[in-house]
Amino acid sequence: MNFIELQFDDFTLESFDRFWYEVDRLDDKNVVLLLGPEAATVTAESIDRIKKSKVPAGVRLSSFNKMQEWEEVAQRIPTEKEYELFIAEEARQIFRSLNAQKPEGVNVLAERITRF
């Protein structure tokens, strides 16, 4: 199994529900949440597969509108540091919203922003 790719216009309750539905279907319920700001993508990556040196597996959720919004903000914000702070706050809000809908039995071991 590789990654299940989900694409939505926005990060919404519906998209988060679908994300968690797919994560809950994974064999390994211990995941790391990763936010990729370059493509406005949240990934839940299976930890046991990484530990066992297997091909990573998980679920990716992308938001087209959020990606466009972040690109526009990047053009307006004068410094890279300010953009990183903006993305960090966005990530906190997204992770908070995701975790509010997390089903029982799924363990989020860490949350990270991948790179700028």
Q: Are strands 3-8 and 58-63 parallel, antiparallel or unpaired?
A: parallel
Read off the amino acid at residue 91: A
Q: Above pLDDT 70, what percent of the chain? A: 91
Q: Coil, strand or helix: which one is 106?
A: coil
Read off φ and ψ for residue 27, nearest 5 degrees: -65, -40
What pLDDT does residue 97 have?
96
Q: What angle do CA 75, 77, 81 make, to 5 degrees?
A: 120
**Model pLDDT for residues 10-58, shown as the tens digit of each residue:** 999 999 999 999 999 988 889 999 999 888 999 998 876 556 666 667 8
What value does the mean pLDDT of the chain take?
89
Average pLDDT over residues 61-69: 94
Burial zone of 35 (CB within 10 Å; 0-12 exposed, 13-18 middle, 19+ buried)? buried
Helix, strand, or coil here: 111?
Answer: strand
pLDDT above 90 coverage of the chain, percent? 71
| Domain spans in the chain, listed from the N-terminal domain onward | 3-113
